[in-house]
Structure 1
């Protein structure tokens, strides 16, 4: 039998994790989490119809006694010493007795099995088993089943690892298929202006002195704790690996472009210098610096193989093997199970892959390394998204993954013949970039280190440009052209994506262009929980953009506890967004403020945050893209409560903090939090919040301005609070309405002070100044059921006076500009929101209010849906939205 804990988890998955009332507009998710930090249940199961003809089979890992627990690179959580003692097998068949169409795997160390063959349509059955190392005593799981739909029959399937290994046979240079395409690469780039410019750069590079093992920066550690000192020392050497490794790579490329031996001989001089560095020395022992050195050694060993003596070849093989094993030995039965072990996916997987291919035929273990990486890539990429093109952690840390996304897609594509740039996620990626970081405008202001990318930075520019070399997307091409207009200084020809451009260079390539004005104003990225709304996507630097967040991933990794938070940008700048500063992954400011709900435009319950961890998740049930009204609905009903993640509890423990109520954490009893956000023409944002708890709660709706000042203004009555935002952009006001009295607190202090003790720098290398920022919190009386209506005005000129037309039985009726708004604010009554624009000839309705539009009566098709009616000339455009699950809830947790 499978260990008891795994069996219990499997039974829980078979239970009702998602409740869906038939013919109801609303879906209530009751699962504790949608993504687990490490896999806790098998996939695919319960007869789901998989969205492919060759799914990857996934299951919980075991150490032989219990399920593998969360651990990741760079963490002080100790690794389970028994994870390497287990072997797995998989059986798949078209009948539950495993007699027909049987596929039986060989033994493997890892807990993923991507199917590299197309399955015929119909039902399939599978199970996995494990045995301890050296034992033939196999323990088998229950039998699981899934269905393959005939519509996926013609999808291309990645080949088995045997074919991949075969393609890596032959003489050096193996990397990037240079033993096959080297001559074409040389000739194709002879007249490439960028290649010529790079060669000039490489000439100067040879004049630089050999690097020595010294810090990239000096930071005083006086008075710091042992943990802080450890972090600071790593910070002092952060980037050292790239500083010594990149010249080796660049000189190898210059040699392949010119066949000039001067370049490869200087690369050898530099590679030997770093090969002699102590792998246990402070300069290159951490995963990032050691990984960069490993990649550089692989580059030279492969490109410069013919220039090495037998003794030097042995030295390089030994140095590569030592560093590669240090990475690989901690991967099987751990890394593939993790929701996203960031350091590995961001950087070290790429480092290891390049070094592995370099020695694939010379180091016996390398074939296992490559097998593992190819299987995990095939099963798990992209780890922080599924198909929508989004990235869970926000744009600040998305960019750390760019090089690996580009080069591993190129590498594994070379090996397999699969064009990974045609994956659904890849094809949607340009839209994610365009909608969440438009040209000349700010980003979404969410997640770790977003404040370093308020505008498009070099890495984002280079990444977008690189994608144009493998994608035929006219909107992407227009996006990149815009970046080049705004930032011509970014494109100097020696960046990290140069080699990718050289590999894919086509003289006189023609790039069709389409303006984003042809795209919908609103786009939902359900898998990562983002809705982006734009007044004018083509001119986001001159108009209003708003974003609603609610992530099925919760606040894992570099994500934050920001479910149902919003961001509003105006004229390309952030008006309302996340606040605080990234100083370290889990210092006091991070754990008590920056990562928490207190830093975001969302709601606190009795001043308590949402949960940190995968358990504190949200999702986006609905979105509608209209012409004059845009709409999104977020659900954060599962986001509140005690922190349950052992990983995050350990992070608190490491710095001697307790996630107590005094520190903003604990059980608040929230059972419902649905936030409706509408962006209306004319500069209006409407928020309507539905809130419930299992006890009376004081609800605080928050507003944060990272760059501007908030000032309170007088309100007509205690049930309304108003404030203004002092900006250089125009006039910004906010009015918050409720059915009970409200109290407002405006201040410019963080719950936990921000101190740049780690000397964190911005993208230009300047030490960041952690300035105070402004915040407004508006708090209700203690209520078990509660509603908020918020009207935000963003104007070039004066904002409008909000006229209260009536307030009867909790139904508040106000008018602002052309817009007539009714909202049911009595929590005991059915939720309702109706917005009508007479001149705009548009109407939005949610709830049970009568719908009269353009002289006619309308009714929703499904009770509780969100209805949008807009006149386009004489034609009525009717859109109706009900709750729709993200992919993880559709497939990875089957409805029962």
Structure 2
């Protein structure tokens, strides 16, 4: 966010007075940007946890989106990136007259070779054109002294340790014999060898086997390209796995039969990208990976002609990827495929041919330095804004890249504090044997932590010493000892090879039961709370999202939405299906707001893109009480993102009032959620205000069983059930509500893309949807009490006391649901020996626990892009 925004914010707070200072009203169109809009670190920033990386926006004529959808060619003005140059200077002298470091760079970022000394620094970037520098504004930066600061070595140190021999990537030549010897005691060795033996007798597929039969039945170019991308990946991914397992079998045994077959297959595949039916950047990256790993692993077996064929293929594919990335990826909020897999592949390819292919000098420089600048976390809290399903696509990247850098340098790249936060994200968003938190595309497919996720926690436990992650893994493997074998050769997430390389044991120590009941990720905009880490069968859980990332990338337009769970299964839960990235059903019913447990305004939802953002202004976590506030006041309105408008145009998706987008009428939507200890009860309070009288639509959804709805005198009772649990929601409101339930989607879910190996398109199931609509009102308030519990113990309805208070589950609640007066609630437990309370009256939130009062006011999260 810009400095001017903060100045305006401070001035408005001064005018509003002391009570209003507790609440921050954001006015920015977006908190994040698809492409970087501000320098980093921001002016007046304080950096204490890591070495400084200077980053800045691209030139205006370059600051554009490329390839709005996979398979579409870039249709932008082509710029000769070799001619792009920047200047950067930094000094502890504000006038840059002494002690100034000035460098010319070819990318819009720079990592100083040595960490900046503690103190105040000044820095400035400039665009270099025709020998002249157009300097930007001067930024002030304070570097704090911290002995534990994350300061990885420079590229110079890395390159000084790259072996001149082969192999050097999946294994290094000087450790090869010891690696083979040690592998005999590790089960993963046998997994690879069994699969390799099968592959030796398996005929190879061809690009001629790509199924194109459905192309003629698809009604737009997006569908046709998506279908061909999927079907070509079906063939190429299968053959990648076959060739990869042969390469790994050779590295495990040095048996030439595996090498001979792998070389034959890889050379056959080297130019498959030239076939008209092969589409998508994942296919390009796959072929680069195979060529580079064959070149490295079989270097002493290849003929000069074979080496030249592979080098030519590596050069062609690697340079194409580098040219796409540089002066683009650095500034992109999260270029999905690149961070998921393709940057890892280019990194490993670059090191495999470093010193032998001139272009690799540039690739290595770029890949290493962009990792230091942008990764592993695209924010500081360790969360993953794209959601739980797509998080695991990044697994190999998050482990293999820094592990390889560590092997070259001896530096512990996993000491980056982001990894500790990410372990918490991985566990809290999906506890053992449980459904995911329900955020991001395809979240419904994540019914329990998959083998990739368990392998990831296993790796991080070994690398960081985190005993919570180790306990998570042990609990899983106690039930299913060979569970991680299911991930073998999984393209994005197989870490079997890492376990063969890393001989660190799982650490011992505190387990999951020592964790708090909740965790909040303010930069990502996520929270989750649960009642029982020890026994999933009796665990009640809820998750919540209100995110500065909005609904771009694989994120959904579900600001201020919650989900509930019991026994690891969903109850009130986000609906809709991720058929394809911009399929009409996926956009209207899965990404779109109507699919989530939040609120519509006049039936209209939240913007698609970073402009449809929410945020978490305040939160509190303890065993006795938890609290999260989400603010979605800026999320609603017409879709204005150029990128998403273009995607809609290409996909026949129309952002019209008929489909759920219109002029914004909303002023305020704040959702307070209070976690009432470990009782399974939560209290939700919605503050709503519009610019004119509107209908407020309160949404709930289920995906397992139909809901039951009963309209009582004081509230509407909605119950969701699964096989062993229930969530009973008691909805109180300012006025009378009109309720409606249906088992039909707004737009049908038609499977036109995901056929199985036999060409069968499995149908998508319908879900159940509840809407409570208010009369037109400018100010409105909802209060909801939700009791999530075992189904065999029926819920007791809230008791309305004579003074208007509500008694529920050992808690007394006083709440203002009238449109008059300030928004207010006061909640306390009924335990005289152990009192705890929370109160809110439109300003600060006060929490009294253990005779200590905590005052919560709004804090804007620290965001990078």
Q: TM range, normalised to the smaller chain?
A: over 0.9
- State the partner residue of 2:305: 311
- State the partner residue of 1:50: 47
Give CA-to-partner distance per residue, 1:687-733, whole Å, 9 cap, x none: 1011112222211111111112112213215xx32233354324543
Asked whether the 8 Å contact 1:87–1:107 carries over to 2, the reply is: yes
Q: Distance in 2 between the 1:244 and 1:549 partners? A: 39
Matches within 5 A, 1:758-769: 758-759=753-754, 768-769=762-763
- State the partner residue of 1:885: 860
1:367 to 361, 369, 375: 361
Q: Distance in 1 between the 2:556 and 2:243 partners? A: 38
Distance 1:14 1:332, change over 3 A: farther
Q: Offset of 1:789 from its aligned partner? A: 0.6
Q: Offset of 1:48 from its aligned partner? A: 1.6
User: Residue 753 of structure 1 aligns to a residue in which SS?
Assistant: coil
More displaced, 787-796 or 32-41? 787-796
Give CA-to-partner distance per residue, 1:484-524, whole Å, 9 cap, x none: 13433423384421111111125xx3530423221111111
1:537 to 533, 537, 555: 533
Q: Does 1:401 align with 2:363?
A: no
Matches within 5 A, 1:298-697: 298-384=292-378, 386-492=379-485, 494-495=488-489, 496-506=494-504, 509=505, 511-680=507-676, 681-697=678-694
Q: Offset of 1:75 from its aligned partner? A: 6.7
Q: Offset of 1:830 from its aligned partner? A: 1.3
Asked whether the 8 Å contact 1:685–1:793 carries over to 2, the reply is: yes
1:243 to 238, 242, 245: 238
Q: Offset of 1:574 from its aligned partner? A: 0.2
Q: Offset of 1:286 from its aligned partner? A: 2.4
Q: Offset of 1:53 from its aligned partner? A: 5.5
- State the partner residue of 2:781: 787
Q: Offset of 1:406 from its aligned partner? A: 1.4
- State the partner residue of 2:813: 821
- State the partner residue of 1:286: 280
Asked whether the 8 Å contact 1:61–1:337 carries over to 2, the reply is: yes
More displaced, 703-712 or 566-575? 703-712
Q: Distance in 1 between the 2:183 and 2:13 partners? A: 58
Q: Offset of 1:243 from its aligned partner? A: 1.8
Give CA-to-partner distance per residue, 1:217-267, whole Å, 9 cap, x none: 666234312412221111112243332223333223222222322322222
Give CA-to-partner distance per residue, 1:38-86, whole Å, 9 cap, x none: 00111123222123452111111016x4644565672746344126242
Asked whether the 8 Å contact 1:738–1:787 carries over to 2, the reply is: yes
Matches within 5 A, 1:137-216: 137-150=132-145, 152=146, 155-168=149-162, 170-176=164-170, 178-215=172-209
Q: Distance in 2 between the 1:510 and 1:232 partners? A: 42
Distance 1:201 1:584, change over 3 A: closer
- State the partner residue of 1:119: 116
- State the partner residue of 1:855: none
Asked whether the 8 Å contact 2:225–2:279 carries over to 1, the reply is: no
- State the partner residue of 2:748: 753
Q: Distance in 2 between the 1:784 and 1:418 partners? A: 58
Q: Distance in 2 between the 1:53 and 1:583 partners? A: 40
Q: Distance in 1 between the 2:625 and 2:349 partners? A: 53
Q: Distance in 1 between the 2:256 and 2:767 partners? A: 56
More displaced, 497-506 or 679-688? 679-688
2:706 to 709, 713, 733: 709
Q: Distance in 2 between the 1:311 and 1:191 partners? A: 38
1:104 to 102, 105, 118: 102
Asked whether the 8 Å contact 1:441–1:541 carries over to 2, the reply is: no
Q: Distance in 2 between the 1:765 and 1:517 partners? A: 46
- State the partner residue of 1:735: 730
Q: Distance in 1 between the 2:759 and 2:178 partners? A: 39
Asked whether the 8 Å contact 1:73–1:343 carries over to 2, the reply is: no
Q: Offset of 1:288 from its aligned partner? A: 0.8
Matches within 5 A, 1:259-278: 259-275=254-270, 277-278=271-272
Give CA-to-partner distance per residue, 1:507-556, whole Å, 9 cap, x none: xx353042322111111111211111111122233220011111111112
Q: Offset of 1:765 from its aligned partner? A: 11
- State the partner residue of 2:768: 774
Q: Offset of 1:154 from its aligned partner? A: 5.4
Q: Distance in 2 between the 1:501 and 1:218 partners? A: 39
Q: Does 1:698 align with 2:695?
A: yes
Give the number of equivalent residue pairs.
848
Q: Distance in 2 between the 1:644 and 1:179 partners? A: 54
Q: Offset of 1:191 from its aligned partner? A: 3.4
Q: Distance in 2 between the 1:80 and 1:306 partners? A: 44
Distance 1:283 1:178, change over 3 A: farther
Distance 1:69 1:229, change over 3 A: closer
User: Residue 534 of structure 2 aligns to a residue in which SS?
Assistant: helix
Q: Offset of 1:836 from its aligned partner? A: 2.3
Q: Distance in 1 between the 2:632 and 2:220 partners? A: 38
Q: Distance in 1 between the 2:558 and 2:546 partners? A: 7
Asked whether the 8 Å contact 2:207–2:272 carries over to 1, the reply is: no
Q: Distance in 2 between the 1:625 and 1:213 partners? A: 54
Gaps of 5+ in 2: none
Distance 1:144 1:510, change over 3 A: closer
TM-score, length of structure 1 as denominator length: 0.90
Distance 1:367 1:665, change over 3 A: same
Asked whether the 8 Å contact 2:621–2:627 carries over to 1, the reply is: yes
Q: Distance in 1 between the 2:781 and 2:165 partners? A: 69
Q: Offset of 1:619 from its aligned partner? A: 1.4
User: Residue 207 of structure 2 aligns to a residue in which SS?
Assistant: coil
More displaced, 557-566 or 531-540? 531-540
More displaced, 262-271 or 524-533? 262-271
More displaced, 202-211 or 265-274? 202-211
Asked whether the 8 Å contact 1:844–1:868 carries over to 2, the reply is: yes
User: Residue 814 of structure 2 aligns to a residue in which SS?
Assistant: strand
User: Residue 279 of structure 1 aligns to a residue in which SS?
Assistant: helix
User: Residue 538 of structure 1 aligns to a residue in which SS?
Assistant: coil
Q: Distance in 1 between the 2:242 and 2:295 partners? A: 14
RMSD over aligned CA atoms reads: 2.6
More displaced, 280-289 or 750-759? 280-289
Q: Does 1:234 align with 2:229?
A: yes
Distance 1:146 1:886, change over 3 A: same
User: Residue 330 of structure 1 aligns to a residue in which SS?
Assistant: helix
TM-score, length of structure 2 as denominator length: 0.93
Give CA-to-partner distance per residue, 1:741-762, whole Å, 9 cap, x none: 2111111121211111112679
Distance 1:549 1:610, change over 3 A: same
